[in-house]
Amino acid sequence: MLNPPEASPAGRSVVAAVVIAVTLILQVSVANRLPLPGGVQPDLVLLAVVALALVAGSMTGMVTGFLAGLAADIIPPADHTIGRYALVYCLIGYLCGVASDEMDRQSVVPFFAVAAGALAGTVLYAGTGMMLGDPRAEWATVSSMVPLQVLYDVIASPFVVWAVLRATRRYERGERPRSDTLAVPAARYRAMSGRG
């Protein structure tokens, strides 16, 4: 349905990189400092990766996911084993990219895809922590955090998806004024973000 590498890959990757960098900074300096009930914060980076993957397909999704994850692993307050977020976001980017091919044009489906991506990402990250014996990822902590985090992610998803779409669409418009490849998902997501 989409074939992003044909549409000037360099420009697209620049947009993706900017989106990820901005999201990452917002994540650590704003989102993580919100004193939300339950002590959990929405994972904006994961949402951005999911949104980019849904728009641009599995290849972009997984490369973006890998790089975003690597950046999330080394951004200053991070204190976990390097590679955990890279692994998780890469997988999620790939899966969401593949899922975007299967999706029909109903506007509810992407919403569930974002929720499923958030759930899978959170569980996978917790899973890697458990496998490595990370004392922070005890079962008690994980089981209380994961549902809440997914809830927050779903609440935050329309805003992030909308912002990502704005960013990618603006670029598309400048490059190719009447592009059919992105018009469909853009409309779809706009309908979706309006709903959320």
Partner 1 sequence: MKDTRRTRVVLGVLLVVALAMITIDYRGGAESPLRGLRGVGATVFGPVERASASVVRPVSNTFDAITDAPGERRRADRLERQNHKLREQLRSMRLDQDKAAQLQRLLGTAGMGGYEILAAQVISAGQGFEDTVTIDAGSRSGIKRDMTVMSADGLVGRVTRVGPATATVLLATDQTSSIGSRLEGSKEIGIVQGRGRRGLGGHGATPLRFQLLDAAAPIQVGQRIVTLGSQGQRPYVPGVPIGVVERIDRSTGGLTRTAYVRPFVRFTSLDVVAVVVAPPKTDPRDAVLPPKPKPPPTPTPSVSPSASPSGSKRPNARPSGSGSPSTNPSGGN
- Chain residues binding partner 1 by CB under 8 A are 1-4, 24-30, 32-33, 35-41, 43, 45, 57-59, 62-63, 66, 69-87, 90-91, 94, 97-98, 100-101, 125-126, 128-129, 132, 134-138, 141-142, 144-145
Which residue in this structure is represented by tokens 């999704």?
61
- Shortest Å, Cβ 158 to partner 1: 19
- Shortest Å, Cβ 134 to partner 1: 7
Considering the complex, state which of residue 22 and residue 116 has its C-beta at the smaller distance from partner 1.
Answer: 22
DSSP structural state of residue 39: S
How many whole angstroms separate alpha carbon 69 and alpha carbon 79?
13
* Cα torsion through 61, 64, 70, 72, rounded to 10: -90
Start-to-end C-alpha separation, the chain: 25
Q: Count H helices, E strands: the chain?
A: 7, 0
How many whole angstroms separate alpha carbon 111 and alpha carbon 158?
8
- Shortest Å, Cβ 115 to partner 1: 19
Based on C-alpha coordinates, what's the Rg of the chain? Answer: 16
Considering the complex, state which of residue 135 and residue 174 has its C-beta at the smaller distance from partner 1.
Answer: 135
Quote the tokens at residue 83.
């590679």
Quote the tokens at residue 70.
């690597």
Considering the complex, state which of residue 131 and residue 187 has its C-beta at the smaller distance from partner 1.
Answer: 131
- Shortest Å, Cβ 191 to partner 1: 22
Burial level of 8, CB count in 10 A (0-12/13-18/19+)?
A: middle
- Shortest Å, Cβ 109 to partner 1: 17
Considering the complex, state which of residue 57 and residue 117 has its C-beta at the smaller distance from partner 1.
Answer: 57
- Shortest Å, Cβ 171 to partner 1: 18
Considering the complex, state which of residue 77 and residue 177 has its C-beta at the smaller distance from partner 1.
Answer: 77
Considering the complex, state which of residue 10 and residue 102 has its C-beta at the smaller distance from partner 1.
Answer: 102
